[in-house]
Amino acid sequence: MVQIKEFAYTPKEHESEAACNSYLMSLIAIIVGLPFPIVNLIATLIFYLGNRKSTYFVRWHCTQALLSQLSILFINSFGFWWTISIVFQEGSITNNYIAYIIALFLFNSIEFIATIYTAIQTRKGIHVEWWFYGTLATTFLNSKK
Amino acid sequence: MKKSLFQGIIIALVFISIWLCLTQIKWVSIFEIEKKTDRLEKELGELLIKEFEKTKIENIFVTNTIDSLVTKICKANQIDRKNIKPQIIKNQEINALALPDGHLIIYSSLISKTKSQEELAAIICHEIAHIQLNHIMKKLITEVGLSVLISSITGNNSESTGEFLKIISSSAFDRNLEKDADLNAIDYLLKAKINPEALANFLYALSIDKNNDVINLSWISSHPELEKRVNYIIKYSKDKEHAKFQNILNNSTWEKLKAELNKIELEN
């Protein structure tokens, strides 16, 4: 799921710091933004936009951090509105709902742990690629070249 | 790009598979959600019914007559009679309301003002439908919030009790809930061999008498609009097949019930 790979060049200290911050940004936003699922996406998007003109290493990690929030956004938004509909309309908690919330927490936890791990590794200048999001980030940045 | 798309689909499938696997576990029983909801409803019902203790009518003839009406409706519709707890209240307002845990409150003035036993049965059916469809708890949770309901039970707060009663008695249910209750009431009436047009007649009579300030707003101004409500009740009941309509009470019992209530209302 998470792989350490060789990057095209060795990133400098300030690049590692900026790349690491892109992950930390999403972590802080998750904590601040709960239970609203959009906050972490906005935070990483702002950070991504702020580093558009930065080096490739920083841009690559900002893109991965941003893209990783997208799937979580869909999962969390669905869970959020389902909860709202239970509270304000149906009023009944079903097996399907509880199962969804557990799956949601599971995915969020995996994402949370992966983000912490990636932030630590990136700070050391190690390039960490996530399955799917890493591929997507490379495709996205190459298409912009 | 194809690789990313393929990996994206895999992630979506993994999430859906985990969710579907988790749905196989009976979480509702594990977390005892139904038990907890039932307990909350029971305690709320007990809390709210206390508010009516002072004005409760204890006349045996009146309570027995209403009980027999409710029993007949429940029996015809396979509704557990123990779940419906009717209580007649001495009150000048024309109103009936369903409380949590199956408590069915009927105001004395409402019985006095109904023109026939079918009309009274229709109102009872409407309130039973609210109980059976769990509308009261839905409404309370929507308007007050689950946490406030729970804290009101544990905190024994009399102010919140009054607030809940106000919500239940003074405002109408959501448009769809009200329609659901009306249509279910028609089914109950037909199964009990009671003419469902009585419900429309009662609403129509209220609409004519809408300037009367003792009529409770939940019946007169309920959503959907009264005229529409009368129309769909007539349309829905016309399409239904039914057995020959019968009286539940003897005419003499019905007359005696009204006379007894008039007497009670005149007392102090």
Whether residues A107 and B15 touch (CB distance < 8 A) is answered with yes
Residue B15 above 70 pLDDT?
Answer: yes
What per-residue confidence (pLDDT) applies to A37?
Answer: 67
Q: Where are the beta strands (DSSP E) in B32-77?
A: none
Q: Are B123 and B110 in contact (CB under 8 A)?
A: yes
Q: B126, B109, B127, B118: which is closest to B258 by C-alpha?
A: B109
Separation in Å, CA of B3 to nearest CA in chain A: 8
Mean of the per-residue pLDDT values for chain A? Answer: 84
- Least confident residue range of B62-71, B74-83, B156-165: B156-165
Q: Compute the distance between CA of residue A136 and CA of residue B168 in angstroms, rounded to an integer.
A: 54
Peptide bond into A11 cis (omega under 30): no
ipTM value, please give it. Answer: 0.85
Whether residues A102 and B11 touch (CB distance < 8 A) is answered with no
Whether residues A75 and B15 touch (CB distance < 8 A) is answered with yes
Among A2, A88, A95, the strongest candidate for a mutation testing the B interface, having the largest count of B CBs within 10 A, is: A95
Chain A residues within 8 A of B31 when measuring between CB atoms: 98
Tell me which residues of chain A have a C-beta less than 8 Å from any C-beta of chain B.
71, 75, 87-96, 98-100, 102-103, 106-107, 131-132, 135-136, 139
pTM, two decimal places:
0.69
Burial label for B85, CB within 10 Å (0-12, 13-18, 19+), is middle
What per-residue confidence (pLDDT) applies to B104?
Answer: 94
Whether residues B19 and A103 touch (CB distance < 8 A) is answered with yes
Residue B209 above 70 pLDDT?
Answer: no
DSSP-assigned letters across all residues of B172-239? PPPHHHHHHHHHHHHHHHHHTT--THHHHHHHHHHHHTTT-TTB-HHHHSPSSPHHHHHHHHHHHHHT
Give the CA distances from residue A102 to residues A71, B140, B239, in Å, rounded to whole numbers and listed in that order.
Answer: 16, 27, 46
Residue B170 above 70 pLDDT?
Answer: no
Average pLDDT over residues B131-155: 73
Average pLDDT over residues B245-253: 85
Chain B residues within 8 A of A139 when measuring between CB atoms: 1, 4
> Which tokens hold the place of B35?
């038990």
Whether residues A93 and B18 touch (CB distance < 8 A) is answered with no
Low-confidence ranges of chain A (pLDDT < 70): 33-37, 89-91, 144-145
Angle between helices B135-143 and B158-170 (to 10 degrees): 120
Burial label for B196, CB within 10 Å (0-12, 13-18, 19+), is buried
Q: Compute the distance between CA of residue A133 and CA of residue B8 in angstroms, rounded to an integer.
A: 8
First to last CA, chain A: 27
Among B2, B6, B7, the strongest candidate for a mutation testing the A interface, having the largest count of A CBs within 10 A, is: B7
Residue B248 above 60 pLDDT?
Answer: yes
The DSSP code for A89 is: I
What per-residue confidence (pLDDT) applies to B223?
Answer: 43
Across B128-160, b (16+ Cβ under 10 Å) vs e yields bbbbbebbbbbbbbbeeebebbeebbeeeeeeb
Burial label for A66, CB within 10 Å (0-12, 13-18, 19+), is buried
Domain ranges of chain B: 41-266
Residue B35 above 70 pLDDT?
Answer: yes
What per-residue confidence (pLDDT) applies to A144?
Answer: 64
Separation in Å, CA of A36 to nearest CA in chain B: 19
Inform me whether the C-beta atom of residue B134 falls under 8 Å from chain A C-beta atoms: yes
